[in-house]
Structure 1
Amino acid sequence: MTDSTPVSEIGERSLIMRLSGILNCGCDPDVHIGSGSDDCAVIDISEEEYMVITTDMLHRTTDFPLQMTPWQIGWMSAAVNFSDVASMGARPVGFLSAMGFSKDTDISFVEGISKGMDDCAKFCGTSVIGGDIDTHDELTITGTALGKVKKSELLTRKGANVGDKVCVTGFAGSAGAALHAILNDIEAPESLLNKLLTPIPRVNEAMELARSGAVTCMMDTSDGLAMSLHDLADLNGVGFRIDEASLPIQPEISEYITSDATTLTELALYTGGDFELLFTVAPDMLEAAQSACYLNVIGDVVEGELGTVIKCRSGQNLTINRKGYLQLGD
């Protein structure tokens, strides 16, 4: 029986899980982790290593603000994929891109995008190794990133334990605040705008965390902190208690965007595009994680029946809603 439900009604995550149920990843013994359950697929390539592979599609109207230069578009197209590779603790080993342009696109525009991709790949310690180009009604870029990781250092979304500390790299809500500034013609400094326009994949931090052995589970926050917390909660059967006072918010947000504490918290929780790492750490290994990279401890893993909540500065516990950046149905 066919299902005539529009994809816009179920959203990206539900559609991915539905399609993953159709795909048979269990037929190949070399596939360690298949579609749907993590940031990357994981392939067994040797006795010591896995290869991780991810792909992402970006569009002019939904993913690239008009203020972005061609170079920034290229950087972003690579960065979103390298962020997924980083979330597995892997070292990037190549990037491929399929690009669709309208027929009247200037060659210099395409060259600028390619230069941005190349610079991001170099920043992540690798290179652009291939791809494809075609004509398209809308600028559309599909990137594919590959990485390698020692089997003993592979990090996944599953593994959080009650009592673990919840940590993030960098700031929360900066990209969302930058987008708000752009959409509302608010003058903001480059230090804030670049969090949206030139996001930094946390590749080096992730590899150091993987080597530390301190991390129990990890993913990136590209769809927002709240959405990522709910993803981890569902997969691990746990809850989270986040401390509002510990949310790392970039100082420029309160200086240029808003000084309202409620709005700052909503930006930190419910806006996407930061490409930071969200991870849990065993309490006795926190010092090792802190030695691996700069991080912020923002809460604790709790029993699943307690839900995912934020402890407000007032002392009240409020539910963190399952919302953030989504595609298809947002």
Structure 2
Amino acid sequence: MESIPVSEVGERPLIGLLTRIFNKSSNPYVAVGPGSDDCAVLEMQGDEYLVITTDMLHRKTDFPIQMTGWQIGWMSAAVNLSDIASMGASPIGFLSAIGLPKDTDVSFVEDIAHGMADCAKACGTSVIGGDIDTHDELTITGTALGIVPRHELLARKGARIGDKVCVTGFAGSAGAALHAIENNISVPDRLLKELLEPYPRVAEARELARSGLVTSMMDTSDGLALSLYDLADLNQVGFLIYESKLPIHDDIREHVTTDPHELTDLALYTGGDFELLFTASPDILNQVFPTFNLSIIGEVVEQSAGMLIERNDGSNSSINRKGYLQLGN
């Protein structure tokens, strides 16, 4: 095979390549295997599925220099527990393998452990094991497990034309916080926490799963636009998103930018929010979810319509396929 650097292939094509290799093996316990969703889904006795996910984070690319050890630990757990939530599941355990530079202070490692434990506890579970080793760069690989009733499992596939497109929380908050850090813009701590201490939407996911109204779901950690494209490709549909409905936090307008196009770009193209993006039956309009912030931002349309955003002035323009990627340019 011709020698090609992974940076030229890109994250998603490389995942596709590996998925084709891994899926050649048959495993009777696998209900959802490699490449299909945010988590692998395994058969269990009874009426529940076991869902499992793993993610790797690095000091240089994933942890802003401002992050404390506690925040690094929290983030390492949050990215995995958010994937569990995206399947509508309840977390039942978190494991972590930590690669540490030899000169790392023990107190810093303790802070990381406390952050992991606190995030797991906030999501109704605990750290149940892991491994440590030396490494040139701080590297943390987390693995989360969850369970979900079979009839409540939510997946990326299932969106239908006419469904509403919804998100929890706000869009672009983590990206705005990162922009503020990189440009020395003073913003409230509550906005910085959106980047440094993302909160997995486990409780919201369970409520949505129990509602029976959700047809597809994933989290927005790679950005809203890229997540929309992932759902569109898998479901062979298009999306019409309303610019006026994008939920943008007032702190962004007050402290970061008031330019409408910049606000929309932050909402669409920056990652790290860890909110839930989902499609749902139009009946979602009549359902009240008093415990969390939910916005209906668009609708599922024919694939031939493409990926569109209806601007505030009534014009339509295409949403670009871009967001946060771990490999590539």
Q: SS state of the match for residue 180, structure 1? A: helix
Counterpart residue number, 1:233: 232
Counterpart residue number, 2:91: 92
Once residues 169 and 116 of structure 1 are traced to their aligned partners in structure 2, the CA distance between those partners, rounded to angstroms, is 24
Once residues 200 and 292 of structure 1 are traced to their aligned partners in structure 2, the CA distance between those partners, rounded to angstroms, is 15
Structure 1 runs of 4+ aligned residues shifted over 6 Å read none
Unaligned stretches of 5+ residues in structure 2: none
Contact 1:95 1:130 in 2 (8 A): yes
Once residues 41 and 136 of structure 1 are traced to their aligned partners in structure 2, the CA distance between those partners, rounded to angstroms, is 28
Counterpart residue number, 1:170: 169
Q: Please state how far the C-alpha of 1:285 moved relative to its aligned partner.
A: 3.8
Q: Please state how far the C-alpha of 1:4 moved relative to its aligned partner.
A: 1.0
Q: SS state of the match for residue 98, structure 2? A: strand
Q: Please give the residue correspondences for 1:116-155 in structure 2 after superposition, counting only pairs within 5 Å.
A: 116-155=115-154
Q: Does 1:308 align with 2:310?
A: no
Q: Does 1:24 align with 2:23?
A: yes
Once residues 146 and 65 of structure 1 are traced to their aligned partners in structure 2, the CA distance between those partners, rounded to angstroms, is 27
Q: Please state how far the C-alpha of 1:107 moved relative to its aligned partner.
A: 0.2
Q: Please state how far the C-alpha of 1:220 moved relative to its aligned partner.
A: 0.1
Counterpart residue number, 2:220: 221
Counterpart residue number, 2:260: 261
Q: Please state how far the C-alpha of 1:288 moved relative to its aligned partner.
A: 2.9
AA of the residue aligned to 2:206:
M
Counterpart residue number, 1:39: 38
Flag the 1:154–1:289 CA change in 2: closer, same or farther, 3 A.
Answer: farther
Q: SS state of the match for residue 85, structure 2? A: helix
AA of the residue aligned to 1:132:
D
Q: Which stretch has the larger CA shift, 152-161 or 183-192?
A: 183-192
Once residues 285 and 315 of structure 1 are traced to their aligned partners in structure 2, the CA distance between those partners, rounded to angstroms, is 25
Once residues 114 and 154 of structure 1 are traced to their aligned partners in structure 2, the CA distance between those partners, rounded to angstroms, is 30
Contact 1:209 1:292 in 2 (8 A): no
Q: Report the TM-score when normalising by structure 2.
A: 0.98
Once residues 2 and 86 of structure 2 are traced to their aligned partners in structure 1, the CA distance between those partners, rounded to angstroms, is 34
AA of the residue aligned to 2:152:
E
Once residues 325 and 108 of structure 1 are traced to their aligned partners in structure 2, the CA distance between those partners, rounded to angstroms, is 31
AA of the residue aligned to 1:170:
G
Q: SS state of the match for residue 225, structure 2? A: helix
Counterpart residue number, 1:69: 68
Contact 1:214 1:289 in 2 (8 A): no
Once residues 294 and 23 of structure 1 are traced to their aligned partners in structure 2, the CA distance between those partners, rounded to angstroms, is 38
Q: Report the TM-score when normalising by structure 1.
A: 0.98
Counterpart residue number, 1:202: 201
Once residues 328 and 134 of structure 1 are traced to their aligned partners in structure 2, the CA distance between those partners, rounded to angstroms, is 24
Once residues 285 and 25 of structure 2 are traced to their aligned partners in structure 1, the CA distance between those partners, rounded to angstroms, is 36
| Same amino acid, percent of matched pairs | 67
AA of the residue aligned to 1:255:
E
Q: Please state how far the C-alpha of 1:292 moved relative to its aligned partner.
A: 7.0
Counterpart residue number, 1:180: 179
Q: SS state of the match for residue 133, structure 1? A: strand
Once the two structures are superposed, what CA deviation does each residue of 1:128-186 show, in whole Å capped at 9, x if it has no partner? 00000000000000000000000000000000000000000000000000000001111
Once residues 320 and 4 of structure 2 are traced to their aligned partners in structure 1, the CA distance between those partners, rounded to angstroms, is 25
Q: SS state of the match for residue 31, structure 2? A: strand
Flag the 1:37–1:3 CA change in 2: closer, same or farther, 3 A.
Answer: farther
Flag the 1:216–1:124 CA change in 2: closer, same or farther, 3 A.
Answer: same
Once residues 59 and 226 of structure 2 are traced to their aligned partners in structure 1, the CA distance between those partners, rounded to angstroms, is 24
Flag the 1:300–1:6 CA change in 2: closer, same or farther, 3 A.
Answer: same
Q: CA RMSD in A?
A: 1.1
Aligned residues: 329
Contact 1:215 1:289 in 2 (8 A): no
Counterpart residue number, 1:12: 11
Flag the 1:125–1:69 CA change in 2: closer, same or farther, 3 A.
Answer: same
Once residues 236 and 143 of structure 1 are traced to their aligned partners in structure 2, the CA distance between those partners, rounded to angstroms, is 29
Q: SS state of the match for residue 287, structure 2? A: helix
Q: SS state of the match for residue 27, structure 1? A: coil
AA of the residue aligned to 1:219:
M
Counterpart residue number, 2:247: 248
Q: Please state how far the C-alpha of 1:291 moved relative to its aligned partner.
A: 5.6
Unaligned stretches of 5+ residues in structure 1: none
Once residues 94 and 240 of structure 1 are traced to their aligned partners in structure 2, the CA distance between those partners, rounded to angstroms, is 35
Q: SS state of the match for residue 200, structure 2? A: coil
